A and B are shown apart, each in its own frame.
Chain A
Amino acid sequence: MANSFKHGIHPPEKKEISADKSIKRFPFAPYLVIHLAQHIGKPAKAIVKEGQEVQRGQKIAEADGFVSVPMHSPATGVIKKIAPMLDFDGKMSPSIIIEPHPGSDQNVLVGREVEPDSLTPEEIVKAVQEMGMVGLGGAAFPSHVKFSPPKDKPVQTLIINGAECEPYLTSDYRVMLEQAKRILRGIKIVMKALGAKETIIGIEDNKKDAAQVLKDAISVDDSAVKYVKVEVLKTKYPQGAEKMLTKALVNKEIPSGGLPADIGVMVSNIATVSEIGELLPKGQGLIERVVTISGKGVDNPGNYLIPMGTPLEFVLKHAGVNEKARHVIFGGPMMGKSAAYLEMPITKGASGILVMTEEEHAPKKQKVYPCIRCGECVNACPLFLNPSRLGILARNDEFDKMAEDYNLNDCFECGSCTYVCPSNIPLVQYFRVAKKVLREGRQRKQQSIAG
């Protein structure tokens, strides 16, 4: 019996569409849009001017403070404009627009090589920030902030998330199959930064071949064999969530409102460590990422290495978008975001792009019925919350009660409750609205105290 957590769901995996497609490079789009605020934290500050020539890999924006990361140019070209462009949330957000030179190549000439072994933990954290590295699983939280936990909470165990529990997505799977050496190099660097003693890589049992590849790589690596192990987990959603993965692998729970560091662990996505293992020794920045393009709306689904800032329109055209395409989702089908505009670019947090047909997206017209208190959602919630009760409160706008009496803020919006609800109640959407209203209320309160 493989390790797992309690509750959760098992949606159709749909990974077969793109699982056997090896990672392929994408060409440059006619223009690239780099949002300055595509990570959590303060937006980066542009350090280039309109009309300036930039090289592939050159830093074009610098971090503004500790919780912020710089941006690098994904292509050799010219800075066309520095202006607000549409972002994920449908807002105009400050961006740098680059026009790649025709025929500009994939070589990165910028960057000073370093020997990771010679760096101190502080230097590694600094170098990771300079890379512009963020969590590639989707949240886009600056990695170097994670790698510097509070001094009084030392991290013993580094957990690497190779679960990839979202249906459709196969980018992490391909990374594990093709980049095992990079992953091990990255793990060593991150372990040194954290001062961790051991590393556990968690992989779901529908990707046993990837687990085997990593096991083989570890067995021939003299140092890795001592402290890195691979654990196979039950295929279940949301196995890859930080709290679930920790429970499954070290059988400890992260306290409500707490961080993994509270119980001496740190969780990092497998693609993140792979990029660190590749880019940090070369002294280069994060300028492209592996993205799964899948769904019946595209003729060439697969796993692509796409330059940051490539507009969705270009991505879809290149992946062979067909007439049946109706819905485009950034990320996985469970936690991803619907895209409303085709100008939106690939960002550091985009792990997948799903192009779905009408039938794939909504097999039958989903009418919303009242809650019948069947308790399916309670059985599905991996955090043991009561989504049914929360949903009823949300409909009555009792947001404060949701947070104070029913732990709304523990919900990480995995969507399991919505998935199982026989009445088709869009529970997670209610919760997102409630959280936003509460967050804004808090901000207003703070402002009125400050002002």
Chain B
Amino acid sequence: MDAGSILTAAGVMAGIGILLSLILAIANKKLHVYEDPRIDTVDELLPQANCGACGVPGCRAFAELVVKGEIAPGKCTVADPKEIDKIAEFLGVDAGGSDKKIAYLACAGGSNVARQRATYDGVKTCQAANLVAGGGKGCSWGCLGLADCERVCDFDAISMDENSLPVVDAVKCTACGDCVEICPKGLFSIQPMSHKLWVACKNLQANEEAEDECEVACTGCGRCAMDASPGLIDMVNNLAVINFEHNHKANENIIQRCPTGAIVWFNKDNTESIKGKNAKKIIRKSSIPMG
């Protein structure tokens, strides 16, 4: 083989290479889509949980909207507040939505205070139990305690306590709403942590009827509504319902006369719910026996 044909082959290859790279270079210029470089930076600061709790499909899409200014960085419920501040600072916008939201449980009827009326024997999930005559709990609104919420939570923020009642970890909770969706009794709701006043009950029965089934039920006595500023608490179907539009009027005195402790006040970090002074003391640690 002579050197000429080797050189020709190399030359042809080089020629094709240069030609194609030229086409690529032109295409790159002609078909360029401008993307704000800030999107990448913001995206990197986001937690990449892709949970959708912000209402946008995924963190990348959220970053695009944040850069466009269509959504406040604070709408990401998962990210550390410090990261949110960094994003806000980087973009020079207001962090917004700084009030962290978490899941609130509207039931305090653990097995030590709420009566079970029938033994449920079947698939051990709340959704399955709820299809069998509501699960057999005395209070037909109450938590079934089979931990669907604990299993569905991607952030390990829900754990069942010794009385089979879910406890939300305010630090870990990202307000993604999965527990709200799965609970067959609809006991979870997403609330800003500024909501300190809370009714941990959904029972619509009145007086002894409610208290017979659960020692911490709202009996519909209306004392909290009387003690609160007008408009803050309404009595609807024997249940105290808080109107959070008037949340600024809420204070710890409202819960003091509650006889069962169904209405509670959360401490600063929502790690503890405080009952009123007149709420009856719950001494029982174990489950209430059947019968």
With contacts A341-B133, A433-B128 taken as known, whether A426 is within 8 angstroms of B123 at the C-beta atoms is: yes
Closest to B130 in A: A90
* Given A90-B133, A90-B140, A92-B140, A340-B123 contact (CB < 8 Å): no
**B127–A340 contact, CB under 8 A?**
no
Distance in angstroms between the alpha carbons of A257 and B255 in the assembled complex: 54
Mask of A319-344 contacts with B, CB within 8 angstroms, 1/0: 00000000000000000011111001
CB within 8 Å of A: which B95-142 residues: 117-118, 120-123, 125, 127-128, 130-137, 140
Residues of B within 8 A of A89 (CB): 131, 133-134
A 11-36 contacts with B by CB, 8 A: none
Cross-chain contact of B123 among A88, A433, A436, A437 (Cβ < 8 A): A433
A436 touches B127 (CB 8 A): yes
A412 at the interface (CB under 8 A from B): no
Q: Tell me if A433 and B140 are in contact (CB < 8 A).
A: no
Q: Is B218 located at the chain interface by the 8 A CB criterion?
A: no
Whether A433 lies near B122 (C-beta < 8 A) is no
Smallest beta-carbon distance A235→chain B, Å: 29
Interface size band for B: 10 to 19
User: Judging by beta carbons under 8 Å apart, are A90 and B123 in contact?
Assistant: no
Residues of B within 8 A of A339 (CB): 118, 133
Selected from B122, B135, B204, the residue in CB contact (under 8 A) with A90 is B135
Contacts of A91 in B (CB 8 A): 134, 140
Q: Chain A residues near B140: list those with CB within 8 A.
A: 86, 90-92
Point out which of B122, B134, B135 has the most chain A C-beta atoms below 10 A from its C-beta. B134
A432 interfacial by beta-carbon distance below 8 Å: yes
| Cβ contacts under 8 Å, B131 to chain A | 89, 429, 432-433, 436
Report the contact-size class of chain A (Cβ under 8 Å from the partner): 20 to 34
Q: Do B118 and A429 touch across chains, with their CB atoms under 8 A apart?
A: no
In the complex, the answer to whether A432 meets B128 with C-beta atoms within 8 Å is yes
Specify the chain A residue showing the minimal Cβ separation from B152: A397
Given A429-B128, A433-B127: A337 touches B122 (CB 8 Å cut-off) = no
The 8 tightest CB contacts between A and B, nearest first, are A90-B134, A340-B133, A340-B118, A340-B136, A90-B133, A433-B128, A429-B123, A90-B140
> Can you offer 28 A-B residue contacts whose CB atoms are under 8 A?
A84-B204, A86-B140, A88-B133, A90-B135, A90-B136, A90-B137, A90-B140, A91-B140, A92-B204, A337-B132, A338-B133, A339-B118, A339-B133, A340-B132, A340-B134, A340-B135, A341-B117, A341-B118, A429-B123, A429-B131, A430-B123, A432-B131, A433-B125, A433-B127, A433-B128, A433-B131, A436-B131, A437-B127
Extra inter-chain contacts (15) besides given A90-B136, A344-B133, CB under 8 Å: A88-B133, A89-B131, A90-B130, A90-B137, A90-B140, A337-B133, A340-B117, A340-B118, A340-B120, A340-B133, A426-B123, A429-B122, A432-B131, A433-B125, A436-B127
Enumerate chain A interface residues (CB-CB to B < 8 A).
84, 86, 88-92, 337-341, 344, 362, 426, 429-430, 432-433, 436-437
